[in-house]
Amino acid sequence: MRIGAGLCPALMGLVLWTAAAGPGAAQTFSHKLMSDRVNGEHTDLASEIAPVEFGPLMVHLSSPGHTLEVLEHELRLGPAADGSEHAQVWARYQGEADLVAELVIAGMTSEIEDHIELPLQEFEVSGRVELAREGDGYQITVLEAPSYVEVEVKSDLGAQMETLCQGFAVMTLGTFDCDGVGRAFSRVRLPLPEPGESYFVAAAELTQQERRQVEAYLRER
């Protein structure tokens, strides 16, 4: 999920810390931050879904409407030896979405629309960011990040896409395997900001509780 103008400020911190995910050694976290706006339902997320590719088959995915309910979350921070911040985010969530899939193969296209469910699930990822006060807000720079986060979904889309793929394969005399197409749609990938990307969060966009926690961390780190 990439940061966009439509992303509600309440989720800004959650997404940015998620974007800092990356492999590494065990870390020690000195502070736990919780927003007073993240838990609850959200319908204003600006999202980008990575395309699914199988040889000559390309499937472009988009979600014109979705609801994400965050049940619990926790952001953990701790100073790293190089002056950056170890960051870890944990969240438990569920939701639903309208999904549009456009299948492209050999110059032919077909489109399928489906309503999908995001079953109750959770994630925990960790990595590094750089956090600093700047002007009337905070500058956050991603130092380590994976390329995407996977989200489990439940829908009939996988079976429909596999049937379409098999039809295209017959029409084009293709020899590629369509079996993996159905399995691929049990989890979708949401791209994350790349290392080096930087974001400014204005203090005015944060609640008093959020600012107090960030300031306490910067003061005590």
Tens-level pLDDT at each residue, the chain (221 residues): 333 333 334 344 444 444 443 444 456 789 999 988 889 998 876 667 778 777 677 888 888 888 999 999 999 999 999 999 998 888 999 999 898 888 887 777 888 888 989 999 998 877 889 999 999 999 999 898 777 778 888 888 777 777 777 776 666 556 566 766 667 778 877 777 788 889 899 999 899 999 999 999 999 98
pLDDT of residue 194: 82
pLDDT of residue 17: 42
127: tokens are 């990595």
pLDDT of residue 151: 86
For 56, half-sphere exposure in the C-beta direction (CA atoms, 13 angstrom radius) is 15
CA distances from 191 to 12, 90, 127 (A): 15, 18, 16
pLDDT of residue 176: 62
91: tokens are 């969240």
Q: Where are the domains of the chain?
A: 9-220
Q: Dihedral sign, CA of 74, 131, 27, 215?
A: negative
Element (H, E) at 85: strand 85-105
pLDDT of residue 93: 94
Distance between CA atoms of residues 124 and 18, nearest Å? 9
